[in-house]
Structure 1
Amino acid sequence: MQTLTRPDGNRPEDFHVTRRTAAGLLFAGYAVAAFSAEAAPITTPSDGLIAEWTTIPNGAEKPLPAYVARPAAKGTHPTILVVNEVFGIHEWIKDICRRLARAGYNAVAPDFFYRSGVDLPAKSDLKEILAVVNQASDEQVDGDVRATTDWIKKQSFAKRGAIGITGFCWGGQVVWRSAMVDPDIKAGVAWYGQLKKVATRAAELKAPVLGFYGGKDQGITQEDVATMRAALKAAGKQDEIIVYPDAQHGFLADYRASYDEAASKEAWPKLLAFFKAHGVG
């Protein structure tokens, strides 16, 4: 079994994916670079949901693609923007959207790396993946988040004033930052996102954030967590960080060997409760 304990998945030297295995994973739709052959990913059905791709105007020559899953029932629902890991929009991110939709939310997952034209889920070399990811500047991503919340506000199925954001790994840091720069974000839930850059900006937070972290994360240390907690306290913020001592980085990702069922089952209801407590419900 391969165990992912790094912030954004394995490095190329950590394991090798055969052509046959890669072809199978690509067919299944999961990120090749992080999939564990021993994983048993959760599959959320789409019956009673509308699940489809759309495009969001963002001022670029080609608009922003996004996967959307939402309840098929008429009426308006709160919306959660879902921010992917470095592996782009693959089957696990889509499943997260469907889980949220089954909980009564519209879930929107923009493809922040679409400008590269690279099929990131099909890539097994993390160096190649990060080369694409690093092309997406903070300013560009923040602009795409803002374009997405502007689009959400115009949709007939979206409950007004009820937009949240959640994200994983790379996307976890985006959550913290979006809570600083996008006034339409009412609350955020960040899963094991890097803290070093955002800790220095804690005073800029305008929306509450709940952070989930693993005590055995080798890329985000407990010192980083302590620094962020101190920065939040100094800034007078009420944001909360929960650490699961035995969990690794990526512990919610049931397609990875780092999946921690106990931590995931405890954390997911906390996500739902946090959004509802802060007006996204």
Structure 2
Amino acid sequence: MAVSRRDVQTVDGLMDVDLHAPDGGAPAPVVIMYPDAYGVRETVQRMAGRLAAAGYLVALPNMFYRAGADAAAPEKIDFADPEQRARLGRVVSQATPQRVMADTGALLDALADEPGALPGPVGTIGYCVGGRMAFTAATAHPDRVAAAASIHGGGLASDDPSSPYLAADRIRAALYIAIATGDAHHTDADHARLVAALDEAKVDYEAEILPARHGFALVDFPVYDEAAAERHWEKSLALFARTLRPAA
């Protein structure tokens, strides 16, 4: 697999994006991978590589580029470290859904001119705050996103007026939503609101609550759960295969 870097012009500056291309050189369906709040790092690069190996051109944007050096992940992730938590607060506050969706529009425009990108709608996948962005992309760019996978995403159906479930009627994509058990970022009440909104909008979706903690898919998180992580890979790859692959 080949990895290359692109700088995408946005209204706020240049967003660096890593492209992971599958072997073979032929144009491939595009999947945008949104990282968690710790940002683009080796763990997420390996995940993008795994998705690329399955036959996709994976765009991994640094959606926290506005935060500059604050966006760099620490050597060891520790949820209880007050300095890390303060840094995360600064980083995430600058990457609002509105800003990230504007960045996503610029990225989609850039990818339309990418030789390795198969023309047509794309897929999205994201983790934690990135899971919210992957879901939100299906509401913000309904004609350009054909599949979205939200993995232990937070704020999908909260009381926040920007919560993306409120725009469920805009979704044209198929969705896979993997929720952690007892997740404070996606409560039982949130889940009930989410499912009700998706059902009312007649969205093609699958939502499941996995017996794992928030952050289970990320191998450098202390809560990493291999069984739940592999489950999300199985379901996400199946989603992309049925929505992004051209009919034979």
Q: Partner of 1:42 in structure 2?
A: none
Secondary structure at 1:201 match in 2: helix
Choose which of 85, 89, 98 in structure 2 pairs with 1:126: 85
Task: Give the TM-score normalised by the residue count of structure 2.
Answer: 0.87
Q: Is the counterpart of residue 240 in structure 1 residue 174 in structure 2?
A: no
Q: Is the counterpart of residue 54 in structure 1 residue 19 in structure 2?
A: no
Q: CA deviation at 1:98?
A: 0.5
- The question of whether the paired residues in 2 share the 8 Å contact of 1:162 and 1:280 is answered with no
Identity of aligned residues (%): 26
C-alpha distance in structure 1 between counterparts of 2:153 and 2:73, whole Å = 23
Q: Partner of 1:189 in structure 2?
A: 149
Unaligned runs of 5+ in 2: 75-82
Instruction: Note the 1:1-281 alignment, pairs <5 A.
Output: 49-60=1-12, 62-123=13-74, 124-182=83-141, 183-194=143-154, 195=156, 196=158, 197-244=163-210, 246-280=211-245
Q: What is the RMSD computed on CA atoms of the aligned residues? A: 1.7
Secondary structure at 1:145 match in 2: helix
Task: Give the TM-score normalised by the residue count of structure 1.
Answer: 0.77
C-alpha distance in structure 2 between counterparts of 1:132 and 1:243, whole Å = 28
The structure with the larger Rg is 1
Secondary structure at 2:241 match in 1: helix
The number of aligned residues is 231
C-alpha distance in structure 2 between counterparts of 1:134 and 1:239, whole Å = 29
C-alpha distance in structure 1 between counterparts of 2:85 and 2:41, whole Å = 15
- The question of whether the paired residues in 2 share the 8 Å contact of 1:142 and 1:178 is answered with yes
Unaligned runs of 5+ in 1: 1-48
Structure 2 vs 1, CA of residues 215 and 261 (structure 1 numbering), >3 Å: closer, same or farther? same
Q: Deviations over 1:55-112 (max 9, x none)?
A: 112244x321011111242211111100011111111111111011111111111111
Q: Which portions of structure 1, spanning 4 or more consecutive aligned residues, are displaced by more than 4 angstroms?
A: none
Q: CA deviation at 1:280?
A: 4.5
**In structure 2, what residue type is equivalent to 1:91?**
E
Q: Deviations over 1:23-80 (max 9, x none)?
A: xxxxxxxxxxxxxxxxxxxxxxxxxx111322112244x3210111112422111111
C-alpha distance in structure 2 between counterparts of 1:92 and 1:170, whole Å = 16
- The question of whether the paired residues in 1 share the 8 Å contact of 2:67 and 2:90 is answered with no
| Mean Cα deviation higher: 113-122 or 125-134 | 113-122
- The question of whether the paired residues in 1 share the 8 Å contact of 2:70 and 2:87 is answered with no
